[in-house]
Amino acid sequence: MIGHRQEPRGPECPSDLGLNQLMVGEMGNAARALRAHADECERCRRRLARFECATLPPLPAVPALRVLPPASQPGPIRQSAPRVRGRGSWIAAAAALVGAAAVLLLVWRSGDLSPSLDGVRIKGPLALGVVVQRASGGTDRIASGASVAAGDVLRFELAHGQPGHAAVLGLDERQVVSLYVPQDGHLPFLAGAGKTVLPGAVKLDDAPGVERIFALLCPDPLPPEQLRQRARDCLAASSGRPAEVKTLELPCSEAAFLITKEIGP
Amino acid sequence: MEAKVRAFYERYGKVVLGRARTLMGDRDAANDALQEVFLRVISSELHILDEPAPTSWLYRVTTNLCLNRLRDERRRKQLVAERDEQGEGGHEGAAPDHLEARTLVLEILRRVPAELQEVAVYRYVDEMTHDEIAALIGVSARTVGNRLIAFRNKMALVTRREAAQ
């Protein structure tokens, strides 16, 4: 349809991902058979050699990383009623809630609520997962750095190793800080350790660009405006570039995610 | 921590570099992508350093990062112009396989919406099976199949429009 490879992959050939997993020793018991195949198969031998013989450039200095002390005991339980936050041209709350319910149903039916490797943890026992219901149909658990489109609906889920008060903020290239959770002014309390799908859903507007999403799990229910202001300060300190904001430097466990909003081909 | 990141780089950097070269085509662009994955993404997602098998995650993160870069309109136009000027075999630092893959990627980026691009790249550039794609991106094989149908429908529509013009 869009072209043909000069060197098609045969039915016995591992994918490039498989060859890479073989290269780094992730194939376990299958490694021997795959090596034997690669020895016999010109295509796989050549591709594997290309991966193995690549010359790595030197890695520049790794940015300094800051680790905060673990969170202390949680405060009183507060509930956050699920609702959709109005932002720009987001659709009506009812439509988004229906979408969010569909997302949840699909995720649960798939049996996959684990944070997996797509969850992102900066400090503390916290991982953030993002599930997107595409405006064009379908539901994805996306990886950090993935593209999303105007009209897509996001749900957030946290895997937390301790109790705490949760919040989710978005920092975008227009210098806008959005408080996605809570939407009713009170940080929802997550009891104990576990996995929690946070209340509310977010429908993305049509402003293109990179957005940094932070999830926080705080020992105390910090005022939402304090969180928002802190995010604004950090965004300003990073010259307005959301991708450069590495931490909000709050006394909370913290996880982050990066999305790129597209405006279509 | 820096030592840990460096050790991770030594072991897995080639995974990222190889993937980036396949999609970006040339050495410099691939090296840029490699640096960005390690300096921006990895430094923000340190849990990955402790994962026993991070290659799938790295593969997908690198794919997304490269597609994001290639979607940049100016970058895309520049690559197309380079391809037109230099021909399939003339790009400095790019092996024929890389050029071919990059041409496919550019066609996919040009013709279909963002939400279909990642799956299309796995299928038509990487020639992965539905099951392999499903395992990589965490959806069912049926969902992969549906997206590829949507991709093919979109491609057919775009092709008809282009032919009409």
Task: Supply B71's token pair.
Answer: 């979607």
Query: Which residue would you say has higher pLDDT here, A64 or A41?
Result: A41
Name the residue among B54, B61, B96 with its Cβ closest to that of A145: B61
Distance between CA atoms of A253 and A70, rounded to whole angstroms?
7
How close B133 gets to chain A, by Cα (Å)?
Answer: 10
Site of tokens 């299958």: A30
Q: Does B17 touch chain A (CB under 8 A)?
A: yes
| Structure tokens, B5 | 């990141």
pLDDT tens digits, A186-222: 899 998 788 888 887 888 887 788 899 999 999 889 9
In contact, B34 and B13? CB cutoff 8 Å: yes
pLDDT at res. A82:
32
Q: What is the pLDDT of residues B66-91, one digit of tens each?
A: 888 887 655 556 656 666 665 544 44
pLDDT value, residue A116: 35
Q: Which of residues 113-152 of B touch A (CB under 8 A)?
A: 113-118, 124, 126-129, 132, 136-140, 143, 146-147, 150, 152
Given pLDDT bands bounded at 50, 70 and 90, which one contains residue B130?
Answer: very high
| Tokens encoding A146 | 């993935």
| Residue owning tokens 């005022």 | A223
The pLDDT assigned to A138 comes to 78
Q: What is the pLDDT of residue B99?
A: 55
Kindly state the percentage of chain A with pLDDT values over 90: 21
C-alpha–C-alpha distance, residues B132 and A14, integer Å: 10
Say which of A9, A23, A141 has its CB closest to residue B127.
Answer: A9
Q: Identify whether the C-beta of residue A217 lies closer than 8 Å to the C-beta of residue A200.
A: no
pLDDT band at A264 (very low <50, low <70, confident <90, very high): low
**Pairing mode, strands A177-181 and A164-172:** antiparallel
Does B14 sit within 8 Å of A23, measured CB to CB?
Answer: yes
In this structure, how many other beta carbons lie within 10 angstroms of the beta carbon of residue A120? 28
Calculate the alpha carbon distances from B50 to A68, A175, B4, B5, B104 in Å: 19, 34, 9, 10, 35
Which of A:59-98 have CB within 8 Å of B? 59-63, 65
Per DSSP, which regions of chain A are E strands?
Answer: 126-133, 139-142, 147-149, 153-160, 164-172, 177-181, 189-190, 194-197, 202-203, 209-218, 253-262
Question: How does residue A32 score in pLDDT terms, banded at 50, 70 and 90?
Answer: very high
Scanning A138-197 for CB atoms below 8 A from B yields: 138-141, 143-149, 152
Other C-beta atoms closer than 10 Å to the C-beta of B4 total 12
Contact A144 B41 (CB under 8 A): yes
Interface contact A63-B14, CB threshold 8 A: no
Minimal CA separation from A60 to chain B, in Å: 8
Q: Using CA atoms, how far apart are residues B121 and B127, in angstroms rounded to an integer? A: 8
Confidence band of A263 (pLDDT split at 50, 70, 90): low
The question of ipTM being above 0.85 is answered as: no
List the structure tokens of A18. 């498989």
Can you tell me whether residue A243 is helix, strand or coil? helix
Across chain B, mean pLDDT equals 80
Pairing of the two strands A253-262 and A147-149: parallel
Per-residue pLDDT, A208:
81
Cβ distance B43 to A118 less than 8 Å, yes or no, reads no
Amino acid at the residue A93: A
User: Binning pLDDT at 50, 70 and 90, where does residue B104 land?
Assistant: confident
d(CA A100, CA B38): 33
pLDDT band at A44 (very low <50, low <70, confident <90, very high): very high
- How far apart are alpha carbons B60 and A59 in whole angstroms? 21
Check residue A84 and give its pLDDT: 33
B45 Cβ neighbours under 8 A, 6+ residues apart: A120, A121, A122, A144, A256
Q: Would you say residue B154 has pLDDT above 80?
A: yes
Under DSSP, is residue A57 helix (H, G, I), strand (E, B) or coil? coil
Closest Cβ opposite residue B44 in set A7, A122, A146: A122
Mean pLDDT of A32-52: 92
With a cut of 60, say whether residue A20 has pLDDT above it. yes
